[in-house]
Amino acid sequence: MNLEKVIFAFFIVLALTLNFGFFIGDMDDPNHHNVYELFAALVVSLIATIMKFGDRAHIGAVLLATSLVADLQLIAAVIVWTMAVHASDAGLTPSIMSSIVSLSGGALLANITSVVILVTETVMFRR
């Protein structure tokens, strides 16, 4: 067993599960979406992205692309949340919360794509 590949897969799957945990719930209800879970999803996604930089294979490039998409979506969600709470008089309204959850949904789709590619690559690997 290759410890580096285990850690790599761990962070990819952890990014997916944290993002999924944030995404689940009523879209417009801030009580169903924790800001710390969004932050954790972003941090783990960034770590997973950094780990993908060394791979020179074509699949590695696709994995990196999906990870960058997830990062951009999560960064946008964090910016929208921050602006709503700290720079807006309206605060965290249901429509703003829906936008934040929608952005994390896009990141979730990118994370699912990463995991599918990872599993496919693992199944195709021959010893």
Q: What is the pLDDT of residues 14-63, one digit of tens each?
A: 999 999 999 999 998 999 999 999 999 999 999 999 998 877 788 889 99
Contacts of 40 (CB under 8 A, 6+ apart): 18
* pLDDT confidence bin for 12, thresholds 50/70/90: very high
Q: Residue written as tokens 């710390």?
A: 36
Range of the domain at 88: 3-124
pTM: 0.92
The structural domain count of the chain equals 1
Residue 127 has pLDDT above 70, yes or no: no
* Closest C-alpha among 55, 25, 18, 9 to residue 39: 18
What is the pLDDT at residue 102? 97
